[in-house]
């Protein structure tokens, strides 16, 4: 299914996440301490600069929308993945091959789940671009009154 505009930016960021996971897994499997340290540092950096904001965007718009639509199981899985990834990214401040491999696996599985299941459900339920901002959007101002009728000439 073609992505609606509200999900396209998130989908683009998923490509970057998959690349990070691929590189992290390769480093972990190499057993090379310097490479593991470099990828652990890159993971912490990308998590703090990009992924955390991506998670918060999903948590502010998409997940409340899906909860309202009755998709509590999908919302629960998403939040559990986010919590696990936040904990693993924090743990990676101390570089470790096994933690890096685990992070890469959870991230890959999380992105696939969102692309194949979560976003498909969002589109099925009619998630619209404006829904993404519904939590933070300012209230719509009341419609302006109709223009006054022109004064009659006496």
Closer by beta carbon to Fe ion, 58 or else 131: 58
In angstroms, what is the minimal distance from the CB of 123 to Fe ion? 14
C-alpha 7/C-alpha 117 separation (Å) is 13
Nearer to Fe ion, 4 or 96 (CB): 4
Cα gap 38→76, rounded to integer Å: 32
- Residue 132 touches Fe ion, criterion: CB under 5 A: no
Stretch that binds Fe ion, among 25-33, 50-58, 68-76, 137-145 (CB under 5 A): 50-58
Compare residues 58 and 132 and give the one whose CB is closer to Fe ion. 58
| Euclidean distance between CA atoms 44 and 26, whole angstroms | 17
Q: Which residue lies nearest Fe ion, judged by its C-beta?
A: 114
What are the angstrom distances between the C-alpha of 77 and each of 11, 53, 138? Answer: 18, 18, 30
Stretch that binds Fe ion, among 29-37, 54-62, 95-103, 135-143 (CB under 5 A): 54-62
| 8 A C-beta contact, residue 33 and residue 96 | no
Binding mask 81-110 for Fe ion (x = CB under 5 A): ------------------------------
* Nearest in space to 121 (alpha carbons), one of 72, 83, 71, 79: 71
Q: Is 114 in the site for Fe ion (CB under 5 A)?
A: yes
Distance of CA 43 to the CA centre of its chain: 16
Query: Residue numbers of the site for Fe ion (CB under 5 A)?
Result: 58, 114
């Amino acid at each position: 299914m073609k992505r609606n505009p509200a999900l396209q930016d998130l989908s683009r960021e998923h490509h970057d996440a998959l690349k990070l996971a691929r590189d992290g897994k390769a480093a972990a499997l190499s057993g090379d301490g310097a490479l593991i340290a470099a990828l652990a540092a890159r993971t912490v950096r990308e998590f703090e600069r990009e992924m955390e904001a991506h998670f918060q965007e999903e948590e502010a718009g998409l997940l409340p929308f899906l909860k309202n639509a009755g998709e509590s199981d999908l919302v629960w899985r998403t939040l559990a993945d986010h919590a696990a990834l936040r904990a693993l990214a924090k743990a990676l401040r101390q570089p470790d091959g096994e933690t890096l491999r685990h992070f890469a696996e959870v991230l890959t599985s999380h992105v696939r789940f969102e692309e194949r299941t979560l976003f498909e459900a969002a589109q099925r339920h009619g998630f619209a671009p404006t829904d993404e901002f519904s939590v933070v959007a300012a209230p719509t101002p009341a419609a302006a009154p109709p223009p006054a009728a022109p004064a009659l000439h006496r």
